[in-house]
Amino acid sequence: MNESNYQDLSELLHLFLDGELESGKETVLFSELASSEELRSEMRDFLVIRNKIRTDSIPVAPPIEATASVFSSLGFNPSLTNPNSVAPFSGLVLSTLKKLWAPITTAIVASLITYFALNNNFDYLTTQSYIPMMVSYSIEPITQDIANNTGQTEKVIYKYINNSLPAQNLASQDPINQNNQALNENSSAEKYFEMINQSQFAKNQRTSDYLLKDNEIKLKQISLGNIPFNLNQSKQPKNDNNEYSLQLRGINGISFPSVQVPYKQNTVFSNMSAAFYFARFGNFRIGFEFGNEPFGQVFNNNENGTEWQYTQNAAIYWAGLDIMYIFDNELLFTGGPQPFVQATFGGTELGPLAKFITGLQYFSKETGIGAIIGLEGTLLSYINQKVWYNTKKIGFTYGMSFHF
């Protein structure tokens, strides 16, 4: 092949790569490509350059002053309040904001709610150092036992006194300490210890805690002394006892396989989900949820004997049944936000889908408003030409809920 011939073939190659080569000349080009390493090398080089250029083709928004200048030159008002006048933020910035406004807004609101919720807890934890305040919530049954005047109960009281020594200076605010004081008017703590009916105690072969029966758990909590977490539980369970709740959350995840194809997003409802929880069984919640988010897909398709690989990033709607389990507060000693896990089983127009979320939720009983934040994993299965494919997504999620 001489240089002139190669030049011609090279031109044919570029026309072909641009989609401008007449079909009659394709045969010539293909046969030369099969035999010429030089031509194949040129094709490879050009494809490398073209692919790289495509990563550099994102439009850059013009500067705001340029936009203002254009509009003022034409006597227009570049008012940002006009819904059609978004030019200063056009291009990449605008498209990015359009994609992210919902999750950003949700995240900010959720963060604010969580912040204030934690702030309340901070105040509450501070007050926990004042033992009498806690006692006022949980000791009432014990005072009744005191009234019953059982020896074992007295022993427990003695134990309690030992554990609450730091709070003795506040005893005047505390009903149980007031009782203790009343008892102490007649004798010391040691005296009451001596008053325990030792023979009865030995006969029963039981600890005094056990004998307290209904009060057992609360006493155990108290006997831990100043550890705030258990005592916090006695103040106000944060479990959401409301029967129904609505939840709106943003989803920010990445797909595996990862694809670089832009997706056609729904500007109103994209990368989001909405859920309605309609039943509650103990710590379980059952609900229905639907959402819209993109899933990267790579699959093969046989067309007339030729195997093609398709890559797409489809923004699709999904819907499913939610099963949520909310842990009790003491599990993580958070005092406020509660850990939860959730599984969603449902489907899409492409195939079945499952989601798994773990995170924290906070719920204010006063306002009915809650917030969640967590990690999410998703599995989408779909079938093409009798072959099943999977897309996995991982990411984080955050949102708000309203309980009623």
- Closer residue to another protein (CB): 19 or 305: 19
Measured between alpha carbons, how far is 396 from 302 in angstroms, rounded to an integer? 36
Q: Are the C-beta atoms of residues 377 and 356 closer than 8 Å to each other?
A: yes
**Residue ranges in 19-38 that form contacts with another protein under rule CB under 8 A:** 19-20
Q: Are the C-beta atoms of residues 328 and 302 closer than 8 Å to each other?
A: no
Q: Whole-number minimum distance, CB 300 to another protein, in Å? A: 27
- In single-letter form, the type of residue at position 302 comes to N
Q: Token match 């609505």: residue?
A: 246
- In single-letter form, the type of residue at position 22 comes to E
> Which of 2, 3, 4, 18 lies at the binding interface for another protein (CB under 8 A)?
18
Q: Whole-number minimum distance, CB 101 to another protein, in Å? A: 17
Residues that bind another protein (rule: CB under 8 A) add up to a total of: 43
> Which of 23, 27, 55, 306 lies at the binding interface for another protein (CB under 8 A)?
55
Measured between alpha carbons, how far is 45 from 378 in angstroms, rounded to an integer? 38
Q: Whole-number minimum distance, CB 277 to another protein, in Å? A: 36
Nearest to 360 by CA among 340, 376, 375, 377: 340
> Which of 53, 148, 186, 385 lies at the binding interface for another protein (CB under 8 A)?
53
Q: Whole-number minimum distance, CB 264 to another protein, in Å? A: 15
**Residue ranges in 320-349 that form contacts with another protein under rule CB under 8 A:** none
What does the DSSP 8-state code read for residue 61?
A: P
Contact status: 56 vs another protein (CB under 8 A): yes
- Closer residue to another protein (CB): 50 or 191: 50
**b/e map of 64-97 (b: 16 or more CB within 10 Å)?**
eeebeeebeeeeeebeeeeeeeebbbeeeeebee
Measured between alpha carbons, how far is 289 from 68 in angstroms, rounded to an integer? 45
Contact status: 202 vs another protein (CB under 8 A): no
Contact status: 70 vs another protein (CB under 8 A): yes
Give the range of 45-53, 110-118, 254-262, 271-279 binding another protein by CB under 8 A. 45-53
> Which of 76, 210, 276, 310 lies at the binding interface for another protein (CB under 8 A)?
76
Identify any residues that bridge with 403 across adjacent strands, giving them in sequence order: 245
Identify any residues that bridge with 305 across adjacent strands, giving them in sequence order: none
- What is the binding site for another protein (CB under 8 A)? 10-11, 14-15, 18-20, 41-42, 44-46, 48-50, 52-53, 55-63, 65-67, 69-70, 73-74, 76, 82, 84-87, 90-92, 94
